[in-house]
Amino acid sequence: MTRPVIPGFNPDPSVVRVGADYYLVTSSFEYLPGLPVYHSTDLRDWRQIGHVATRPEQVDLDRIPTPGGVWAPTLRYRDGLFHLIVTVFLGGRGCVVFTAADPAGPWSDGVPIPAVDGIDPDLAWDDDGTAIVTFARYPEPIQQVRVDLATGRALGPPRAVWAGSGRYAPEGPHLYRRGDWWYLVAAEGGTDRGHAVTVARARRPDGPFESCPGNPVLSAAGTGWEVQNLGHADLVETDSGTALVCLGVRPVGLAKSFSPLGRETFLADVDWADGWPSARLAEVPPGPAEEVIYDLGAPDVLADPVWIAVRQLPTEVAAPTPGGLLLRRTSGHTGLDGPRPAFVGRRQRHLTAVVSGVFDVREGRGGLAFRNAEDNLVALEARATGTAVEVEARVVVAGFDRTWHAALPSGDVELTIAMAPPPDDFAAGAVGGDRIRLSARVADDEVTLAELDGRHWCFETAKAFTGRVVGPFAAEGSVLVRRLRYSGGP
């Protein structure tokens, strides 16, 4: 079997090798900090070391609607400097290139490249050192333009270079020099079950490109593979040959129709024959279980790069105190179904996961939630009434809004969201999504508010391109999170 090498919401991976080290960045859309940076020495085990966008002005997400934001980066290294080129889509800064001497940061403020008016920009250099940006401009063919990276000025107009292999929506281009050939790797077939990796080559970086006779070189379309939607690949040379990283999803249940965690990063091995590549998913054994109890009173708890927030930094939402993590909803915040909730979270990384938090809600209302988008979320919200704690379970799906209620004795309340895959046989519920259980407890009193079919909160049904991000929120006033626990298995 295989597993994602970077599990949870981590799509559109781009990778670069520097010496014995590999660095990888993925898309982050409306979350800050943005563009998570990972490090590995073997392409299989990765550790997050930081983010590219640690300052809101680097990406300017304030007015960007879902599913816009920070789309499809490319990470490259040249002359002692890391370069990250990306599109901040649907009203942001457009195409921007950032630089850093250390991939863990800090990264520059970024130089916009106005001529790149599409998505998924790639960065390469011609033999004379001229920067080449190749990008997608749906529904047109893949485009290319030469650029002065210092100023962002185009050195000529963009021009079409390849219309793809004939599949839907060529995008995600990456350009490489290998021997006497320039290879153009692209994603085609849309971002769902038809997703595929295709390749073309030319003697010059600007073409003309000929399509690989074996296209697609990697796709799960029409297969029963446990990983689907394979596409958006980036190549990297290793000591033993060529590898690629790509996105994929892990659908659950009998029908393999719903993917709770969204698009994750996978690894594939690449073979070459007659100057053309082909790829197969690498066999990566299951990773270890994860059990984390966060020390929410630690002064540097929010410095951990796992924490993200929606269109704002986690420090704009929460602050550590000796008693735990204090979340406040201020006049600048919205509810969970708005663009700027008082919510701080981390990616759900396991198909089987239990997330629980102990909350003091004497000064406000709030609790525990996961979200895919403003109209796709699950929440447990508590408030104190003096003699009791009232708990509301709320689910939102594309305009449908449903709640359940319960009352518990007064005191700190523990809220739990438990998620597990459905059976993969013909048992009841096997064709749906994962099972989601929402419960609350005060001392020895516990109540289950709802048990849900998670198909409604999966990549295939949410309008967002993200995945589940789970954590505490404040709906009104201040909420103190005394303890937060994440437990996950494969």
The domains located in the chain, with CATH, are 14-281 (2.115.10.20), 290-489 (2.60.120.200)
Angle subtended at Cα 261 by Cα 8 and Cα 312, rounded to the nearest 5 degrees = 65
Q: Which three-class secondary structure state does DSSP give residue 156?
A: coil
Q: Residue 428, exposed/middle/buried by CB under 10 A (0-12, 13-18, 19+)?
A: exposed
315 torsion bin: left (phi>0), alpha (psi -120 to 50), beta (else)? alpha
Sequence length of the chain is 490
DSSP 358: E
Distance CA 206, CA 136 (A): 14
Q: Digits of tens for pLDDT over the chain (490 positions)?
A: 689 999 999 999 999 999 999 999 999 999 999 999 999 999 999 999 999 999 999 999 999 999 999 999 999 999 999 999 999 999 889 999 999 999 999 999 999 999 999 999 999 999 999 999 999 998 999 999 999 999 999 999 999 999 999 999 999 999 999 999 999 999 999 999 999 999 999 999 999 999 999 999 999 999 999 999 999 999 999 999 999 999 999 999 999 999 999 999 999 999 999 999 999 999 998 888 999 999 999 999 999 999 999 999 999 999 999 999 999 999 999 999 999 999 999 999 999 999 999 999 999 999 999 999 999 999 999 999 989 999 999 999 998 999 999 999 999 999 999 999 998 888 877 889 999 999 999 999 999 999 999 999 999 999 789 999 999 999 999 999 999 999 999 7
Output the pLDDT for position 1: 62
Q: What's the alpha-carbon Rg for the chain, to the nearest Å?
A: 23
Set 12, 120, 122, 374: catalytic member: 12
Q: Report DSSP letters for 241-258, one per residue.
A: EEEEEEEEE--BTTTT-B
Output the pLDDT for position 428: 78
Set 122, 171, 360, 392: catalytic member: 171
> Cα dist. 338→175, 240, 335, 345 in Å?
39, 49, 5, 16
Output the pLDDT for position 427: 83
User: Quick check: 265 and 231 in contact, CB under 8 A?
Assistant: no
- 42 among known catalytic residues: no
Neighbours of 49 (CB within 10 A): 15
Q: Residue 90, exposed/middle/buried by CB under 10 A (0-12, 13-18, 19+)?
A: middle
248 torsion bin: left (phi>0), alpha (psi -120 to 50), beta (else)? beta
Distance CA 468, CA 356 (A): 15
The dihedral built from the CA positions of residue 418, 302, 345 and 352, taken in this order, carries a sign that is negative
Output the pLDDT for position 323: 95
Model-level pTM greater than 0.95?
A: yes
- Alpha carbons within 13 angstroms on the beta-carbon side of residue 89 total 21
Output the pLDDT for position 312: 98
Candidates 69, 116, 76; CA nearest to 100 is: 76
| Chain position carrying tokens 């895959």 | 421
Candidates 10, 475, 2, 45; CA nearest to 262 is: 10
- 392 among known catalytic residues: no
> Cα dist. 217→135, 245, 246, 278 in Å?
20, 13, 12, 5
User: Quick check: 348 and 419 in contact, CB under 8 A?
Assistant: yes
Output the pLDDT for position 286: 85
Candidates 149, 57, 142, 55; CA nearest to 99 is: 149
